[in-house]
């Protein structure tokens, strides 16, 4: 099974995209840190191996997982039906929403509803559920970025009407940019889970789920800790 291979290698390889605070972002030392990284460290500890974090583009994570480049994905990854065709998900460990960021001054999108986004120019992170959501909005021009942080900068610079991104990253972007604000209304409700290659890692999944259960009581404090940074 997957666990035997991980123990033999002495290493658990996490695939992530460290552009998504507070779940994963680059810390002061330029190393990936965040809620998912701390959970991943606990999983490695449970297995008695070292954790290796591979930071890559978000849209490459599932292909890399299925190409054998890592043991699991932890990336604030939303459970979707399409992704369920190619990976096995762990238990859910967080609930999130897609939210709308606009400029405080003269916002170009009036509220966080589909109708208000119609015909607008909206930034998203490539391959995310925000990207998927916007692809179905009538007449919208969707600009796909490598990270929502970059999209936030383009919004502040007047190149976009709005950015659609998950709740806590949205709040983090706004907290770090005085020119931006986020509407309270939400476009979707989503569940985050970790992912392993389909049908090959039942034993690893069991350990991931055990750690998620063990950590469930600390999750709020852990999230708060990384949000405050
Ligand atoms: N929850 C969204 C999704 O699954 C966005 C996740 C982005 N994660 C990241 N680490 N950049 O599509």
Do 74 and 115 reside in the same domain of the chain? Answer: no
- For the chain, the domain total comes to 2
Do 166 and 106 reside in the same domain of the chain? Answer: yes
CA of 206 to the centre of ligand 1 (A): 23
Domain residue limits at 176: 98-182
For ligand 1, say whether the CB of 201 is within 6 Å of any of its atoms: no
Do 59 and 121 reside in the same domain of the chain? Answer: no
Do 144 and 178 reside in the same domain of the chain? Answer: yes
Q: Where are the beta strands (DSSP E) in 43-170?
A: 50-55, 72-73, 87-89, 94-96, 98-103, 121-125, 141-145, 162-166
The predicted model gives 192-212 an average pLDDT of 98
Residue 228, pLDDT > 80, answer no
Do 22 and 69 reside in the same domain of the chain? Answer: yes
Q: Which tens digits make up the pLDDT trace of 42-81? A: 999 999 999 999 999 999 999 999 999 999 999 999 999 9
- What CA–CA distance (Å, rounded) separates 24 from 17? 7
Do 45 and 81 reside in the same domain of the chain? Answer: yes
- What CA–CA distance (Å, rounded) separates 125 from 149? 9
Do 6 and 87 reside in the same domain of the chain? Answer: yes
pLDDT band for position 130 (cuts 50, 70, 90): very high
Return the best residue to mutate from 54, 64, 77 for the ligand 1 pocket (most ligand atoms within 8 A of CB): 77
ipTM for this model = 0.98
* pLDDT value for 218: 97
Average pLDDT, rounded, for the chain: 97
Do 89 and 102 reside in the same domain of the chain? Answer: no
Residue 157, pLDDT > 90, answer yes
Q: Where are the alpha helices (DSSP H) in 79-188?
A: 81-84, 114-117, 129-135, 148-156, 167-175
| Domain containing residue 151: CATH number | 3.40.190.10
The predicted model gives 224-229 an average pLDDT of 85
The predicted model gives 156-178 an average pLDDT of 97
pTM over 0.95: yes
Do 22 and 73 reside in the same domain of the chain? Answer: yes
Q: Which tens digits make up the pLDDT trace of 95-128? A: 999 999 999 999 999 999 999 999 999 999 999 9
For ligand 1, say whether the CB of 36 is within 6 Å of any of its atoms: no
For ligand 1, say whether the CB of 24 is within 6 Å of any of its atoms: yes
Return the best residue to mutate from 128, 133, 192 for the ligand 1 pocket (most ligand atoms within 8 A of CB): 128
Do 90 and 12 reside in the same domain of the chain? Answer: yes
Residue 229, pLDDT > 70, answer no
Do 59 and 71 reside in the same domain of the chain? Answer: yes
Q: Which tens digits make up the pLDDT trace of 31-47? A: 999 999 999 999 999 99
Do 220 and 175 reside in the same domain of the chain? Answer: no
Return the best residue to mutate from 21, 26, 36, 78 for the ligand 1 pocket (most ligand atoms within 8 A of CB): 78
For ligand 1, say whether the CB of 172 is within 6 Å of any of its atoms: no
Question: Percent of the chain scored above 90 by pLDDT?
Answer: 99
* pLDDT value for 189: 98
Query: What does the radius of gyration of the chain's CA atoms come to, in whole angstroms?
Result: 18
């Amino acid at each position: 099974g997957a666990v035997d291979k991980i123990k033999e290698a002495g290493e658990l390889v996490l695939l992530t995209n460290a552009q998504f605070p507070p779940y994963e972002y680059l810390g002061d030392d330029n190393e990936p840190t965040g809620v998912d990284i701390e959970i991943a460290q606990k999983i490695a500890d449970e297995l008695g191996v070292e954790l290796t974090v591979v930071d890559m583009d978000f849209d490459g994570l599932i292909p890399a997982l299925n190409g054998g480049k890592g043991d699991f994905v932890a990336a604030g990854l939303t459970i979707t039906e399409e992704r369920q065709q190619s990976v096995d998900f762990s238990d859910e460990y967080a609930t999130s929403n897609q939210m709308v960021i606009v400029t405080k001054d003269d916002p170009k999108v009036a509220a966080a509803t589909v109708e208000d986004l119609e015909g607008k120019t909206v930034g998203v992170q490539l391959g995310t559920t925000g990207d998927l959501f916007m692809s179905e909005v009538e007449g919208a021009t969707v600009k796909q970025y490598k990270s929502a942080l970059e999209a936030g900068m383009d919004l502040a610079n007047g190149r976009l009407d709005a950015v659609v991104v998950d709740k806590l990253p949205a709040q983090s972007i706004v907290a770090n940019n005085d020119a931006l604000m986020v509407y309270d209304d939400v476009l979707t409700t989503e569940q985050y889970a970790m992912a392993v290659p389909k049908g090959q890692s039942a034993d690893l999944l069991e350990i991931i789920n055990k750690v998620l259960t063990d950590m469930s009581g600390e999750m709020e404090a852990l999230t708060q800790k990384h949000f405050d940074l």
